[in-house]
Amino acid sequence: MDRQDVHALGRHIATFAGRAPSVHNTQPWHFSLDGHLLHVYANPARRLLTSDPDGREMLISCGAAIRFAELVAEQYVDRVEVTYFPNQVRRLHLATIELGGTVVRPATPATGVEETIGARWSDRRPFDAPDRAAVADQLALVSKQYRRCSATIAGPDTVALIAAMGSQHHLASRYDANYRHELRWWAAGRAYSDGISPERRPVDPDIAPPTGRFFPAGTLKTGDVEDKAELGLITSPVDEPLDWVHSGRLLADVLLSATASGLHSCTLTHFLEPVPGESDSPRMRGANHSAVQAAVRIGRATGPELPSPTRRLSVDSIFEIW
């Protein structure tokens, strides 16, 4: 392998992996290239201390970034092998991605995978109804390669439960100073490269989708329309850090599959977060008592595409070469 080609590829992979979804767009990841090995770390400085005390959402976010990195790497090398938690001492070292075989130096135009990654964004507006059977088939298809987690379509009772749990979380947290400070910090209108900018938040939170998180009002016009989104549910039989990472990988596949089908999507995790004031609030469980890791709203857009991309950290701030 030519060193300069590998360096260029590592930077290219990190650029697209950095476009993965993350809770509050915190982007809690870091990539280090050592020869032909791309190491992926969680960045605890970007974890939500109040909403994500055990780091579960941080690892799900990082899992999505790992999956984006895998998919992009597969476009340019013969072999991609991923080792999870390679260092038993450094538990924030989540994965090592081996770039094996011949390296093709990235060039324009972008590959189909990269175009899909670039087109995906978290749409917090109400959705028109998609084809439910087609969505169910997509979820089943992307789940086939996963043993530690799965994605299924939620029934009406589950959707109603998620909406109720979200409302309970909102009512319990609206006067919790730590939660409100954290939420407003990441939803501030500052000109940074992270967080959820006003143009990505509904102008009237009261008519936002009932299953969504209650964010401070933004500038995104939604219209007073009923949300008819389908909900995909990501679950895992075991609820350990490795399962969180793989759930994030599956989440990435679910979102990209929806985007490639012309649908819009938005990840939901707030209904799983600790309820302020309750020291032992139980986690939601799915079929066979499996742990619910995230939900995904999927549907047809009810408004135009947004002109500006989601804020992202610069690749120089999330990638380094050893």
Q: What are the sequence ranges of the domains in the chain?
A: 3-118+309-321, 132-299
Which CATH number applies to 3-118+309-321? 3.40.109
Cis peptide before 304 (omega within 30 of 0): no
Sign of the CA dihedral running 241, 93, 186, 13: negative
Can you give the pLDDT of all 322 residues of the chain as single tens digits?
688 889 999 999 999 999 999 999 999 999 999 999 999 999 999 999 999 999 999 999 999 999 999 999 999 999 999 999 999 889 999 999 999 988 787 876 677 999 999 999 999 989 999 999 999 999 999 999 999 999 999 999 999 999 999 888 888 888 899 998 999 889 875 556 888 888 888 887 766 677 788 888 888 887 778 899 999 999 999 999 999 999 999 999 999 999 999 999 999 999 999 887 675 666 777 767 789 999 999 999 987 777 567 889 999 999 999 9
Strand-pairing partners, residue 230, are 298
Cβ-based neighbours of 62, under 8 Å, separated by 6 or more:
28, 29, 40, 42, 94, 245, 248
Check if the beta carbon of residue 236 is closer than 8 Å to that of residue 293.
Answer: yes
Provide the whole-model pTM.
0.94
Q: How far lies 227's CA from each of 21, 180, 209, 216, 230, in Å?
A: 22, 26, 6, 19, 9
Check if the beta carbon of residue 120 is closer than 8 Å to that of residue 255.
Answer: yes
Architecture of domain 132-299: 3-Layer(aba) Sandwich (3.40)
CA distance 122 to 218: 14
